Amino acid sequence: MKTRITLALAAVLLGIGAAGCSSSGGTTSPGPQPRPFGGVTHYDEPQRLALHNAEEGLIAGCMRGRGFDYRPQGLATGDHRADANPYGLLTVAQAANDGFGLISTALNMKHLDDPNQAQAANEAWKAALLGTEAHRVTVDLPDGQQFFYNSDSCLSQAEDSLYGPDYFRAFNTFQVLSSKVVTGVQADARFAAAEKRWHDCMAAAGEPSDHLAGPIASIDQRVRQDGSDPAKTHDLIGRELSLAKTSARCQDQAGLAATVEQIQSDVEKTVIGTNQPLLDQLRILQQQALARASHPAPTGTP
């Protein structure tokens, strides 16, 4: 159900900006390209899949314990954009393998049908799954932002069992702080100078673009326009790979990754404030959740 999916995304964020943030979190190293706080808000696809499946099993067990049938939902896979660097950084190897990840996502992303669609009108079933407003808990985050969850829901019970009761406060806090880091890095004069060097390199290569996001946006627009035409899609694959490799090569020549890493370190020290213990706790909770996901409870366990 769409309501189920919406509420599953970090227990319903209120007003959190998307800049530089994923809707997941993780402990796997994101690779050589810098991410805020070591990529603490990023899980790779195998981790996302393992955690999703473990959570779905816990939800099914909880629902069964309340007398309701719940069929675990699969996770849509193949969205390579979920692993994109928040600064738009790209290595030459990544570019040569998958471009910007746009066309491969359009061709490979699998959207799964909701196995619980028949329960859409069952209010008692939905109340058991999603909880009730009478048990709504609102949690404050940095910069006046909030998220909420319904403490009587099977969704919340499953999340607490898998991640720990304080995980989403920690995770959503670092969603907000990571977004602030990205904004701070991109506003720094050192970043502007590095992006200008990239711009000059792109122009010299016959691919003028004012900002790092420009090449990605141009391919994305073409995918939206021509994605349903196999012949045009085939031609566009070559264009995406060529443009991505040029952008990555120019990023390398401009020293963008090294510049971002240096600025990011400075910005993080200001942004984190008194939240270093929370960051340490989040990393522990993530490791524990991944360990639990590797040995999920049977779906019949309430």
140 and 252 in a single domain? The answer is no
Residue type, 176: V
- Domain range spanning residue 132? 1-75+112-186+274-302
Look up the pTM and report it. Answer: 0.85
153 and 298 in a single domain? The answer is yes
Which has more pLDDT, 297 or 156? 156
pLDDT tens profile 31-60: 569 999 999 999 999 999 999 999 999 999
Q: Are 180 and 273 in contact (CB under 8 A)?
A: no
Q: Is residue 80 in a domain?
A: no
What is the side-by-side order of every strand in the sheet holding 146-150?
Answer: 13-14, 146-150, 136-140
Which has more pLDDT, 296 or 235? 235
Q: Is residue 192 in a domain?
A: yes
The fraction of the chain above a pLDDT of 70, given in percent, is 86
162 and 288 in a single domain? The answer is yes
Query: 85 vs 42, 74, 82, 290, CA distance in Å?
Result: 10, 25, 9, 22
157 and 266 in a single domain? The answer is no
Q: pLDDT value at position 77? A: 84
Q: Please, which pLDDT band fits residue 170 given cuts at 50, 70 and 90?
A: very high
pLDDT tens profile 173-228: 999 999 999 999 999 999 999 999 999 999 999 999 999 999 999 999 988 887 67
The fraction of the chain above a pLDDT of 90, given in percent, is 75
Residue type, 106: A
138 and 195 in a single domain? The answer is no
Which has more pLDDT, 300 or 94? 94
146 and 225 in a single domain? The answer is no
Q: Is the pLDDT of residue 296 over 90?
A: no
Q: Please, which pLDDT band fits residue 167 given cuts at 50, 70 and 90?
A: very high
The closest of 281, 260, 11, 13 to 142, measured between CA atoms, is 13
Q: How far apart are CA 164 and CA 170, in angstroms?
A: 11
Query: 109 vs 11, 47, 75, 112, CA distance in Å?
Result: 24, 17, 10, 10
pLDDT tens profile 146-160: 999 999 999 999 999
